[in-house]
Amino acid sequence: MKIICKNCETSHYSSFNYCPQCSQKANLHRINSHEVFHEAVHYFTHADKGIFQLIRDLTLKSGIVAKEYINGKRKKYFPPLNFFLLIAAIFVFISNIPKEVPPIDIQKENQELNSISNPAQKEKMIHLYERKEKMLHFIKKYSNLMAMMALPLTAFFFWLFYRKENYNYTEHLVAGMYMLGFCILINTLLILPISLLFHLSSNYSTVLFLLFQLLYFTVFYYKFLNKNTKLQFAKAFTVSALGIIFWGIVSGFTVNAYISSGFWGIV
């Protein structure tokens, strides 16, 4: 006896548990709260490709995850784009938790403003300092977002230096989603809480994040490209460092341009 799949309308035998065309379950029942909750839990914890297994593998195997996914083991791992967007959602949720930010008295914090006698010049300098404070607040609150924005540039850097490895730009982008997503997850759930616990300044937490990022990038690409020599490890370290430094220059230039001119229209 044959039945019709309700998803793709393919005919198959009723003895089949899943549709051979689209893999949807053959025996469906009405949607209820238990069904929705079960599917959500299953999506994140499925033994073959759950996100917790992915985090474990990115911790223990790092670049091997991306290598196997790109080379065909797509069902084994949680999808890279889903992982990257989920990390972004977690970060946005955490960063939007209301926090008390005490108002800053620009003139009190910058005593040199009192020595400026020209009103127009003084007002101009006050606006400059206001933009600086807004930008510093933005960087502090959205540091992970800025790191995420580095993904296309990071992928381009690794593609540029490893063109002979026969991975195209999109495949380096996939590797970057796993690599950068994991770094941002560690920064959100480990480095930032430790910094808050020990009352470290934002500068220290940034340095810790950059050092971890540099080390993880190096190990990730060393394993991703299946290299086994000290020279190749040194190359992975150099390319990782150059990518991070170049992004720092680009973002730093953007920040300074905003502080100097306020080109985003925020005064």
- Please say whether the beta carbons of 108 and 202 come within 8 A: no
List 11's β-bridge partners, or say none. Answer: 4
Could you give the CA distance from residue 218 to residue 241 in angstroms, rounded to a whole number? 9
List 18's β-bridge partners, or say none. Answer: 25
pLDDT tens by residue, 2-25: 788 877 878 877 777 788 878 777
Per-residue confidence (pLDDT) for residue 150, from 0 to 100: 86
Average the pLDDT over 155-166 and give the result: 92
Per-residue confidence (pLDDT) for residue 168, from 0 to 100: 94
List helix spans (H) across 32-168.
33-45, 51-60, 63-70, 80-95, 106-109, 119-141, 143-149, 151-161
Instruction: Examine the pLDDT at 111 and tell me if it is beyond 80.
Output: no
Average the pLDDT over 128-135 and give the result: 66
Band of residue 91 on the pLDDT scale cut at 50, 70, 90:
confident
How far is residue 169 from each of residues 84, 183, 237, 243, measured CA to CA in Å?
Answer: 17, 20, 20, 15
pLDDT tens by residue, 178-211: 999 999 899 888 888 888 888 888 778 888 989 9
Question: Which residues fall within 8 angstroms of residue 58, CB to CB, at 6 or more apart?
Answer: 65, 178, 182
More confident residue, 216 or 197: 216
Instruction: Examine the pLDDT at 265 and tell me if it is beyond 60.
Output: no
Task: Spell out the domain ranges in the chain.
Answer: 1-30, 82-261
pTM for the structure as a whole: 0.72
